Amino acid sequence: MRGFAHRQRMQQQGARREDVMNRPMIAIINTWSDLSPCHAHFPQRVESVKKGILAAGGYPVELPAMSLGEVMVKPTTMLYRNFLAMEVEELLRSLPCDGVVILAGCDKTTPGTLMGAFSMDIPTLFVPAGPMLNDRYVKDGVSRSIGAGTHTRIFWDDYQAGKIDAAELQHLESRMTRAPGTCNTMGTASTMTGMVEALGLTLPGASSIPAMDSAHTRMATTCGERIVEMVWQDLKPSRVVTRGSFQNALAVQMALGGSTNAAVHVIAMAGRLGIELSLDDLDAMAQTVPVLANLFPSGDRLMEDFYYAGGLPALMKVIEPFLSTTELTVAGSTVAQNLSKAEVLDPDVIRPLDRPVSHAGALAVLKGNLAPNGAVIKPSAASEKLLKHRGPALVFDNQPEMLKAMADEALDCDENTVLVLRNAGPVGAPGMPEWGNLPIPAKLLKQGVRDMLRLSDARMSGTHYGTCVLHISPESAVGGPLALVRTGDMIDLDVAQRRLHLEVSAEELEARRAAWIPTSALPMRGFTRLYQQHVTQAHEGCDFDFLQGNSPTPEPVIF
């Protein structure tokens, strides 16, 4: 009876009986919208995926999902990542789909869609959006690469400091993101799509293809063909993704000089498959694999250059000694087989192991009385002289107060001051926005200061740079020690020792805790209320407590 009704309804929209009979039904999850510019090409790519599915004997059905254009969504896309995961899981559970091709890439869309697909565990193939094209900026006769995100902050600081005028800023506004595709720096998007390729969930090399390259269109068609084969082979995420493939993803994150945001996403993704992964695993890998991809913000090149240099397969070839090469991939081949012909075509962009971009590492996990469960920093994008630093705290309880103070020419601070922002974590903000790259006070910008030690329970855009300690856990809003810091307290950071210490006695901290009054109130309604009630802390991946683990998804009752 159910099949009779389904076939009726498919014919209602013009499909013939033979189009759908005995063919795998393939969902195409599309995270496109008019406010997701990085995915502006997805309507065309969906057609390519459909072409491949039909050619291979499947039947494609497009399912639009929540569109999270990173720069457009307020207060932060992170507030919606878990809801996107829920949406994908429920779409795939409630609708008659045998496999899924996911089109995503702009920051949270990658972990969000895959977390949902992992929970559902049907054959899954990921089509990365691909990076946008490079651009160049000519000033005083010198031409240089400019990248989305990284240069946004650089040029904004220059404008604030009076080094460029409004006309030049307006010109830059129209030049810095010149084509559809994800940010062309090593931000969160390229970090996550690279890690997903290392997990074995894309076709080999897919994550590096620029969005506007015709190879991207061809890759999308091939994905359509391949997913149909995967359905017949029952090649599900739980058969492809293992702890070994997560270790491969971490190795790639470090070699790429990837975004600190990956720390929350990768732990949450592993959690959906019941795979144990912790900040200690990330720190261990960061101390093993150096930064080899010469890309902003750790280096000075862009994703298009990375593609010409051989792309992710070439980078993985260089770090092959650190990889688990027997892991299976969605291509049906192992990592070793996929890398057999990979080679580096430009060693300035993809460096050899003995000539890394940075000896400082892509990530360090800090512990101490200020972060009992951990905090992260990206040493390769920080100022070397600040990686060991001691200075007095200047504390802000919320972002508006902090932004107002930064514009105040009379603000009492100097370059040794440690800027501290709290109530910016998963529960406190809520949604753990990318506020962790606190702006430099205007008066210090004018003195030429471009970096200071900054601390928060927030995140930072992967495209940004600076000596920013992030993801402090537990966060201040739930009573973490960050809530107890006062302006003038001395803070001691030693990245080499992985130490973050507040120079206040345990007795004094206890007295402050006794007097501490929580500040965040529960919102009245909606996603935000559900989020605040159920989000876990940064070191746990910020997934919802009721979605962690790989308990089987119950089949809906049908009549």
Binding residues (CB under 6 A) for ligand FES: these are 38, 70-71, 106-107, 148, 182-183, 187, 189
Contact at 8 Å (CB) between 182 and 302? no
Q: Count the Cβ atoms, other than its own, within 10 Å of residue 352.
A: 10
Rounded to a whole number of angstroms, the minimum distance from the CB of residue 470 to ligand FES is 18
Nearest alpha-carbon partner for 380 in 289, 307, 312, 310: 289
Rounded to a whole number of angstroms, the minimum distance from the CB of residue 191 to ligand FES is 10
Contact at 8 Å (CB) between 218 and 234? no
Task: Between 70 and 135, name the residue whose CB sits nearer to ligand FES.
Answer: 70
Rounded to a whole number of angstroms, the minimum distance from the CB of residue 268 to ligand FES is 19
> What's the rounded Cα separation, in Å, for the pair 295 and 257?
8
Task: Between 69 and 374, name the residue whose CB sits nearer to ligand FES.
Answer: 69
Q: Which residue has the tokens 């490079």?
A: 134
- To 5 degrees, how large is the angle CA 530–CA 531–CA 536? 125
Task: Between 71 and 445, name the residue whose CB sits nearer to ligand FES.
Answer: 71
Q: How far apart are the first and last CA of the chain?
A: 9
CA distances from 260 to 70, 127, 155, 263, 321 (A): 16, 23, 22, 6, 24
Rg (CA), the chain: 24
* 3-class DSSP state of 525: coil
Q: Which residue has the tokens 């009492």?
A: 412
Rounded to a whole number of angstroms, the minimum distance from the CB of residue 150 to ligand FES is 11
Task: Between 189 and 366, name the residue whose CB sits nearer to ligand FES.
Answer: 189
Task: Between 124 and 461, name the residue whose CB sits nearer to ligand FES.
Answer: 461
Rounded to a whole number of angstroms, the minimum distance from the CB of residue 434 to ligand FES is 11
Rounded to a whole number of angstroms, the minimum distance from the CB of residue 24 to ligand FES is 31
Rounded to a whole number of angstroms, the minimum distance from the CB of residue 71 to ligand FES is 5
Rounded to a whole number of angstroms, the minimum distance from the CB of residue 65 to ligand FES is 16
Burial category of 174 from C-beta neighbours within 10 Å (exposed 0-12, middle 13-18, buried 19 and up): exposed
Task: Between 258 and 368, name the residue whose CB sits nearer to ligand FES.
Answer: 258
Task: Between 306 and 396, name the residue whose CB sits nearer to ligand FES.
Answer: 306
Contact at 8 Å (CB) between 546 and 119? no
Rounded to a whole number of angstroms, the minimum distance from the CB of residue 183 to ligand FES is 3
> What's the rounded Cα separation, in Å, for the pair 325 and 224?
26
Rounded to a whole number of angstroms, the minimum distance from the CB of residue 202 to ligand FES is 16
- 347 Rama sector, left if φ>0, alpha if ψ -120 to 50, beta otherwise: alpha
Task: Between 460 and 500, name the residue whose CB sits nearer to ligand FES.
Answer: 460
Task: Between 78 and 289, name the residue whose CB sits nearer to ligand FES.
Answer: 78
Please, where are the H alpha helices in 17-77?
A: 17-20, 42-55
> What's the rounded Cα separation, in Å, for the pair 186 and 294?
9
Task: Between 38 and 92, name the residue whose CB sits nearer to ligand FES.
Answer: 38
The distance of Cα 373 from the centroid of its chain, to the nearest Å, equals 21
